[in-house]
A and B are shown apart, each in its own frame.
Chain A
Amino acid sequence: MRRRDRTVALGLQVGVFVALMVLWWAVAKAELVRPLYLPGPGAVWDAFVDANRCRPISADSDRIVCGEQGYYLWGHLLASLQRMAVGVGAAVVLGPVVGFLMGSIRWVRVAVEPYLNFIRSLPPLGYLGLLIVWFGIGDLSKYWLLFLAAFPPIVIATINGIRNNREDRIHAAQSLGASRLQVATRVVLPSALPDIINGVRIAVGFAWTTVVAAELQNGLPGIGGLAYQAGVQLRTPLVIACIIVIGLAAIALDSAIKRLGEVLVPWQGRA
């Protein structure tokens, strides 16, 4: 985009955002909808601020309460991100290894692919019950859930990366005297890196939606657990504040991986 186009695009986005906020504020102010269903932006902001600080439990009380459900809101967010780090982290380590084996050894692919596709086609919350039976209601079952959600997309992306390797690139290495192992580690794997990073991006997005939903069960601390508890207690402003935080966190995660990809694969789209 040209610079002028970009300025116009940014102006448009800011304009729509402001218009939506004003509309939200006006609808809430005029009480067209009961505040229980749609609190105004101010109430949501207050809920967000309160959830991140210590305050008296009510205006005339000396009792001080910090955050919500025993944690600040950012603490809930952090708890969810930590679950992601363990479950998705394991998938990021193991996924490319399994994908590499499946992509380069035909009989491994033939043997394993049906099961991979089976797991991939299941909604993770569908097997959460089984994971709870096996691993308990605590974090261990959630780690497994996130691992199983993130693993297939990474494996499949790696397989594609391995199999789409340009034949000439491999031939060039062989004609320079590369052994099979050298071809695999120095040519095939780096060539697949852009695909692997794409797979990780898809996996993280999917795992994030999964972790928020999984926290409905024993999910405190956790941003999904907090959103659910707030809903149960009919604290709509806090629910909306959580939803916005969940969405912004998803966007931040995605752009972080995208940025990481640009650093690790500067040749993307240029070679």
Chain B
Amino acid sequence: MTAAVPETPTSTGVAITLDHVSHRYITDAGEVVHALADTSIQIPAGQFVCVVGPSGCGKTTLLKAIAGFLRPTGGRVLAGGQPVEGPGAERGVVFQQANLYPWLTVRKNVELGLRFRGVAAAQRRAAAQEALELVGLSRFIDAKPYELSGGMQQRCQIARVLASDPGIILMDEPFGALDAITRRRLQNELLAIARQKKKTIFFITHSVDEAVFLGDRVVVMSPRPGRVVMDQPVQISSHYDHLLLDELRSVPEYTQLRDRISEAIREDEH
């Protein structure tokens, strides 16, 4: 499988541009690690991109570069046409750990992004209410984060990002630490929300199944140094929009694509 760089003819409507991005760093032991090889990806606005690959394939490095948490040592990262200089409210991040603030209630956690921007209390409250309803957490609006289960904490984190209303949402294995049942339920909810909200979503996972189920497009990466080995549009979720989400999982095209991607990862290991 070759590393296919997708060609996007127009630059308008591009949400994220990774232009020959690479990254090296030096460990405490003085060893140079080549975390990410030359990588170019363009993501149109509104696309749900899943990046899948084993640990050490540089997918988190890529996310951090887009989020502005690290500055890649090579190449350019653009978000909304502007070079990424640091973290910003237009690029929301959902972490693997919920990172809720335990001194704030669920509602105040969800309001936080609007609060940072000085939005009036009534508006904040309404936005938080809406976001919490969307993730099915409105009954827990006055709870403290540590009173919630792991799955509910992740829902709350997603609500916090949705209330802040960024154009781009970056998700770093958000369901990785959850049990299988909760994970499946949250995948269904996220897909429903993504279809409704039309956000650009950059979703990292090590699960091929999750990537194929959620993404409009799946980017497969391989480790040491991280590079793109497959970049594949997924037609399924739009073709079968009328299907119930759980039925979608058993559509033959879906299972075939999943197998092909798994194959690509295995081949690369040989």
Whether a CB of chain A sits under 8 angstroms from the CB of B146 is: yes
B87 to chain A, nearest CB (A): 4
Instruction: Give every chain B residue within 8 A of A259 (Cβ-Cβ).
Output: none
Whether the Cβ atoms of A175 and B112 lie closer than 8 Å is no
Whether the Cβ atoms of A175 and B91 lie closer than 8 Å is yes
Contact A177 B89, CB 8 Å, known A271-B102, A271-B146: yes
Whether the Cβ atoms of B93 and A270 lie closer than 8 Å is no
Interface residues of A toward B: which range? 20 to 34
Whether the Cβ atoms of A177 and B102 lie closer than 8 Å is no
- The residue in chain A whose Cβ has the minimal distance to the Cβ of B100 is A271
A26 to chain B, nearest CB (A): 52
B94 to chain A, nearest CB (A): 9
Stretch of A139-147, A165-173, A218-226 contacting B (4+ beta carbons < 8 Å) = A165-173
Instruction: Give every chain A residue within 8 A of B67 (Cβ-Cβ).
Output: 171, 175
Whether the Cβ atoms of A176 and B112 lie closer than 8 Å is yes
Instruction: Give every chain A residue within 8 A of B145 (Cβ-Cβ).
Output: 267, 271
Whether the Cβ atoms of A266 and B144 lie closer than 8 Å is yes
Whether a CB of chain B sits under 8 angstroms from the CB of A193 is: yes
Contact of A171 among B89, B93, B144 (CB under 8 A): B93
Whether a CB of chain B sits under 8 angstroms from the CB of A82 is: no
Whether the Cβ atoms of A182 and B99 lie closer than 8 Å is no
Whether a CB of chain A sits under 8 angstroms from the CB of B164 is: yes
Instruction: Give every chain B residue within 8 A of A174 (Cβ-Cβ).
Output: 68, 86-88
Enumerate B94-122 residues with CB–CB distance to A below 8 Å: 95, 97, 99-103, 112-113, 116-117
B120 to chain A, nearest CB (A): 16
Interface residues of B toward A: which range? 20 to 34
Whether a CB of chain B sits under 8 angstroms from the CB of A179 is: yes
Instruction: Give every chain A residue within 8 A of B91 (Cβ-Cβ).
Output: 175
Contact of B146 among A172, A173, A177, A267 (CB under 8 A): A267
B107 to chain A, nearest CB (A): 15
Whether the Cβ atoms of A175 and B116 lie closer than 8 Å is no
- The residue in chain A whose Cβ has the minimal distance to the Cβ of B113 is A176
Whether the Cβ atoms of A168 and B99 lie closer than 8 Å is yes
Whether a CB of chain A sits under 8 angstroms from the CB of B69 is: yes
A185 to chain B, nearest CB (A): 11
Contact with B along A170-197 (1 / 0, CB 8 A): 0111111111001000110010010000
Q: CA–CA, A173 to B67, complex, Å? A: 12
Instruction: Give every chain B residue within 8 A of A171 (Cβ-Cβ).
Output: 67, 69, 87, 93, 95, 99
What are 22 A-B residue pairs whose CB atoms fall within 8 Å in the complex? A169-B101, A171-B69, A171-B93, A172-B93, A172-B95, A172-B99, A173-B112, A174-B87, A175-B88, A175-B89, A175-B91, A176-B112, A176-B164, A177-B88, A177-B89, A178-B116, A179-B116, A186-B101, A186-B112, A266-B144, A271-B102, A271-B145
Residues of A within 8 A of B (CB): 166, 168-169, 171-179, 182, 186-187, 190, 193, 265-267, 270-271
